[in-house]
Amino acid sequence: MEAKVEARPVVRPAPPALEVRGGTLPEDQRELKMAARNVNLWYGDKQALFDVDLDIFDRSVTALIGPSGCGKSTFLRCLNRMNDVIEGCVMKGDITLDGQNVYAPNVDPVQLRARVGMVFQKPNPFPKSIFENVAYGPRIHGLASSKDDLEEIVVNSLNRAGLFEEVKDRLNEPGTGLSGGQQQRLCIARAISVNPEVLLMDEPCSALDPIATARIESLMEQLKESLCIVIVTHSMQQAARVSQRTAFFHLGKLIEVGDTTQIFTNPKLERTQDYITGRFG
Amino acid sequence: MSEAQTIGGRPRTTDWASSDSQRRIRKRYGADRRLQAFGILAIALAMGLLGILLTSLIITGYPAFVQTKVDLTITVDPAKVDPKDPAQGNFKALIRDAIVKFGPEGASDKAKSDRMKILTSDAAYILRDYVLSHPDTIGKTITLPIPASDPFDQLYKGVIPKEVDALNWSQMRWFERLQSRNVVVDQAGQMGLKLDVYVNPAKVEAGSPPSGDFAVLARDSLQAYLPEVHDTALFTMLAPDAPNAIAESVSADPSVIGKTVPVVFPVSQPFVEFAKGGTPKVLNTRFSSDQMATFDAMIAKGIVQTPFNWDLFFNADSRFPERAGLAGAITGTFYMLVVCFSLSFPIGIAAAVYLEEFAPKNRLTDFIEVNINNLAAVPSVVFGLLGLAVFLGFFGLPRSTPLVGGMVLALVTLPTIIIATRAALKSVPPSIREAALGVGASKHQVMLHHVLPLAMPGVLTGTIIGMAHALGETAPLLLIGMNAFIPSVESMGVLEPATTLPTQIFSWADSPERGFVSRTSAAILVLLGFLVVMNLLAIVLRQRFQRKW
């Protein structure tokens, strides 16, 4: 491995030091929320995940990084069983939420997805009004006892997503009419409207401009006070900025996991080092 | 470092200004232009054909949208209509009294009766219905618009001529041949045919006056000049009094009996006119001169009108074209489409949703899928046979009814609806499904709350295309007998025999009466009108659903 790196004809300039803030999670604050053990996953004949073991702690942000096609999104989708709906997808191993196996036969995936919410790469608001977008989840789960209650949930969720001030005058306008960043925050509001315990974010900022990205990142910082967040990101800077824990995936395997500060400043493995310094990927 | 591979190859230079290059560019532009020209040509051709079709339909169909009616002044004579029992009144006599007075005096009773044929045969029933619904008119004089009968309707609209050519082409040729043989002579200012007649003693007896079968003799002698003609139309050349010419010559000289002598026969009027270079005309044989005079008198009084033909829409079918309308067909079509829609829409959507969203991918579902696509291509007459064998034969459902028609057409439209619905479901972006699943919606909630509403415009388009298909379907309906003769709309229902627009068109197109020709075209226009309305409906619904998001 050493020799290969040596053999590279092109030597890039050293990358600028990454800004790492709050990138640690002290031992005493680690409350296990979700855990993956020996997770293997196949799409038909093709194996996408190999023996992934990962602990995810409550009230923190865990970032999943790695090159394209390394299985980090697949792993994220395993956490709330979104892969169930994909034809030919077989998963083996255990994933627990609060110690309970989410793949146990008595677990209802619909309820699981209410507890483990998800925000997608591309903002995908329903083609309905802003209000309806946020009210949909509480409505189907029967979380609101009355119309006023529902309204309160919607306003509260929009507030938590930092969107309410911008849209309070046009709650009845279609959610698809918002800007990209607003749409993504609307999707976050929609996801947190059902009070999830875990929020999965699949490259939530990849379709957004830097300003909108900054807003989402500061939003995550606030949300992590009450939630467990798992984020897949291609941007190492973003992982360094927002996460406390970082997991590096490569070719379907979990290569290294640790506190973000440690991963970005002192990775244990050469491959992690190569990736975060931009040698490959 | 020494192992580092050099990235090889040399870029080729391309001369974009070379004549080869220029030629390629010209060729490419030429091909672009040709493709465009073919497209425009194809569209122009299609539009032109469509235009011709519509124009010809409108031209032939237009007369059916107006109806010749006679504002007949009728005295409802209490002697003929008993106020206590008006239904049993002699309405025919009332009509007769009202119409006979227009014609010339002194005509025979037969001629007077024939004047009634100017009006529709239903005239007495129209009057009866009117008097029954307005009993206070008994003893009064009323003016009622009565449709003219088909020949007079067509005559007044100018569809059929009042006079027709008296002679056909062969008759003229025969006469010309006789002229060229100098048989046609002018005798004392009167045109005659100078024919050799063998005065057959077996047929003629001398005497005063002489008797015999002179007409046969006259014909035989004319036939002898044109032996190859076997057509009684030949004898119209002889004037009605022609046989007298033989009688005259026999009485003038009884010794001609048994000999062959030349006799000059007078030529009938149309041929005289033809010989003078004119085009002889006679009154159309559908009208008698007495009827013509009566009708002309009515026109002169200004009581013959051509109002818009609402009867076309509000009357049911009739044997008489002037009374026939589309109300029965429209009602039948409506019932049938209701049955068809209420079966094929829910079944089609349910099948499409299951196949698209829930069905596992295996041999069975593949088989079902292939068969649905094949069913869309099955000729509809096959579905008609199926309906005949299964719905009528096996289940014993009532024949000719909108129920069975709708069931058969549901089979015809189902594949269309399923395919369109599946395509619409497929086109809903997966991100919407993921979004709904992400907040914890179950499969059916994803489907009913998000995917189906978004697919609705496509589903509706498919459904309305299917319904329009059903609206124009004829063959399967003929097989299950949905071309019943429906003279009244009142008795119609889902379980009663009915007819539909296309089968009505089919029946009318088969009818010999002249009036049905224009009515057939008019019915086709009405059918097209319904199709246009349905398509507009599809567009409006689509816009409505799309505006929601």
User: Which chain B residues are Cβ-neighbours of A187 within 8 angstroms?
Assistant: 435
In a structure prediction context, what are the per-residue pLDDT tens digits for chain A, which is 281 residues long? 444 445 555 555 555 555 666 577 878 788 889 999 999 999 989 999 999 999 999 999 999 999 888 889 999 999 989 888 888 889 999 999 998 999 988 889 888 998 999 999 999 999 889 999 999 999 998 888 899 999 999 999 998 888 898 898 999 998 888 998 899 999 999 999 998 999 999 999 888 888 889 888 988 988 888 899 999 998 888 898 899 999 999 999 999 999 998 888 888 888 888 888 877 75
pLDDT at residue B278 in the model:
82
List of long-range contacts for A210-218, beta carbons under 8 Å, 24+ apart? A211/A181, A212/A179, A212/A180, A212/A181, A212/A182, A212/A184, A213/A181, A213/A238, A215/A162, A215/A181, A215/A185, A216/A181, A216/A184, A216/A185, A216/A188, A217/A241, A217/A242, A218/A162
Q: A261: distance to nearest CA of chain B, Å?
A: 31
CA–CA separation, B181 vs B169, rounded Å? 19
> Count of A–B CB contacts within 8 Å?
75
CB–CB contact B439 A7 (8 Å): no
Model pTM above 0.90: no
pLDDT at residue B326 in the model:
92
User: Which chain B residues are Cβ-neighbours of A126 within 8 angstroms?
Assistant: 432, 435-436, 450, 549
pLDDT at residue B505 in the model:
93
The residues, ordered by sequence, that sit 6+ positions from B457 with a Cβ below 8 Å of its Cβ are B424, B541, B542, B545, B546
Domain positions in chain B are: 69-162, 169-283, 327-547
CB–CB contact B439 A111 (8 Å): no
pLDDT at residue A22 in the model:
58
pLDDT at residue A17 in the model:
56
Q: A133: distance to nearest CA of chain B, Å?
A: 10
User: Which chain B residues are Cβ-neighbours of A122 within 8 angstroms?
Assistant: 431
CB–CB contact B439 A140 (8 Å): yes
CB–CB contact B440 A113 (8 Å): yes
pLDDT at residue B2 in the model:
46
The residues, ordered by sequence, that sit 6+ positions from A262 with a Cβ below 8 Å of its Cβ are A24
Chain-centre distance for alpha carbon A90: 22
CB–CB contact B440 A137 (8 Å): yes
CA distances from A161 to A67, A153, A220, B260, B548 (A): 29, 12, 9, 125, 25
CA–CA separation, B292 vs B229, rounded Å? 35
**Angle formed by the axes of helices B214-225 and B243-252, to 10°?**
110
Q: Out of A87, A113, A125, whose CB is closest to B437? A: A113
Q: A137: distance to nearest CA of chain B, Å?
A: 6
CA–CA separation, B54 vs B63, rounded Å? 15
Mutation target vs A (from B358, B362, B439, B447; most A CBs, 10 A cutoff): B439
Tell me, yes or no, if A139 comes closer than 8 A to chain B by beta carbon.
no
Q: Looking at B267-392, list the stretches that DSSP marks H as alpha helix, in order from N- to C-terminal side.
A: 269-275, 289-301, 311-314, 327-353, 363-375, 380-386
Name residues 86-115 of chain A within 8 A of B (Cβ): 87, 110-114
User: Which chain B residues are Cβ-neighbours of A193 within 8 angstroms?
Assistant: 439
Helix or strand (DSSP H, E) at A32:
strand A32-43
- Going by their DSSP bridges, the two strands A228-232 and B211-212 should be labelled as unpaired
Per CATH, is A2-276 categorized as 3.40.50.2300?
no
Complex ipTM value? 0.84
CB–CB contact B437 A82 (8 Å): yes
User: Which chain A residues are Cβ-neighbours of B435 within 8 angstroms?
Assistant: 120, 124-126, 187, 190
CB–CB contact A127 B434 (8 Å): no
DSSP state of A207: T
3-state secondary structure B338-361: HHHHHHHHHHHHHHHHHHHHHCCC
CB–CB contact A140 B431 (8 Å): no
CB–CB contact B435 A128 (8 Å): no
Tell me, yes or no, if A172 comes closer than 8 A to chain B by beta carbon.
no
CA–CA separation, A108 vs A78, rounded Å? 14
Domain positions in chain A are: 2-276
What is the three-class DSSP state of A52? Answer: strand
Q: B433: distance to nearest CA of chain A, Å?
A: 9
In a structure prediction context, what are the per-residue pLDDT tens digits for chain B, which is 549 residues long? 445 566 778 888 888 888 888 999 999 999 999 999 999 999 999 999 999 999 999 998 888 899 999 998 888 888 888 888 888 888 888 888 888 888 888 788 888 888 888 999 888 888 998 988 888 888 888 898 999 998 899 999 888 888 888 888 888 888 888 888 888 888 777 888 888 888 888 887 777 777 778 888 888 888 888 888 888 888 888 888 888 888 888 888 888 888 888 888 888 888 888 888 888 888 888 888 888 888 998 999 888 988 998 988 998 898 888 889 999 999 999 999 999 999 999 999 999 999 988 888 889 989 998 999 898 889 999 999 999 999 999 999 998 999 999 999 999 999 999 999 999 999 888 889 889 988 888 888 999 999 998 898 889 888 988 999 899 899 999 999 988 898 888 888 889 999 999 999 999 999 888 889 889 999 999 999 999 998 888 888 878 776 554
Of all residues in chain A, the one with the smallest CA distance to B449 is: A136
Tell me, yes or no, if A206 comes closer than 8 A to chain B by beta carbon.
no
Region at A242 (left for phi over 0; alpha for psi -120 to 50; beta for the rest): alpha
Q: B327: distance to nearest CA of chain A, Å?
A: 44
The one-letter code for the residue type at A101 is N
The residues, ordered by sequence, that sit 6+ positions from B324 with a Cβ below 8 Å of its Cβ are B315, B317, B318, B508, B515, B516, B519
Q: B432: distance to nearest CA of chain A, Å?
A: 6
CA–CA separation, A63 vs A236, rounded Å? 9
Mutation target vs B (from A83, A110, A129, A132; most B CBs, 10 A cutoff): A110
pLDDT at residue A281 in the model:
57
Do B186 and B264 touch, CB atoms closer than 8 A? no
CB–CB contact A120 B361 (8 Å): no
Task: Domain B327-547: state its class.
Answer: mainly alpha
CB–CB contact A87 B440 (8 Å): no
pLDDT at residue A3 in the model:
47
Tell me, yes or no, if A258 comes closer than 8 A to chain B by beta carbon.
no
What is the three-class DSSP state of A145? Answer: coil
User: How many Å is the maximal CA-CA distance in chain A?
Assistant: 68
Q: Out of A110, A125, A187, whose CB is closest to B440? A: A110
Q: Give B294-318 pLDDT, tens digit per residue.
A: 899 899 988 898 899 898 899 889 8
CB–CB contact B432 A124 (8 Å): yes
CA distances from B143 to B72, B171, B238 (A): 5, 48, 48
The residues, ordered by sequence, that sit 6+ positions from A174 with a Cβ below 8 Å of its Cβ are A127, A128, A129, A130, B549
- Going by their DSSP bridges, the two strands A89-97 and A32-43 should be labelled as antiparallel
Do B182 and B212 touch, CB atoms closer than 8 A? no
Tell me, yes or no, if A82 comes closer than 8 A to chain B by beta carbon.
yes
Q: A124: distance to nearest CA of chain B, Å?
A: 6
Tell me, yes or no, if A195 comes closer than 8 A to chain B by beta carbon.
no
Q: B416: distance to nearest CA of chain A, Å?
A: 27
pLDDT at residue B391 in the model:
93
**Angle formed by the axes of helices A147-160 and A130-140, to 10°?**
110
pLDDT at residue B529 in the model:
92
Mutation target vs B (from A6, A84, A108, A113; most B CBs, 10 A cutoff): A113
CB–CB contact A113 B450 (8 Å): no
CB–CB contact B438 A126 (8 Å): no
CA–CA separation, B232 vs B113, rounded Å? 31
CA–CA separation, B322 vs B318, rounded Å? 8
Q: A184: distance to nearest CA of chain B, Å?
A: 12
Q: Out of A110, A174, A187, whose CB is closest to B442? A: A110
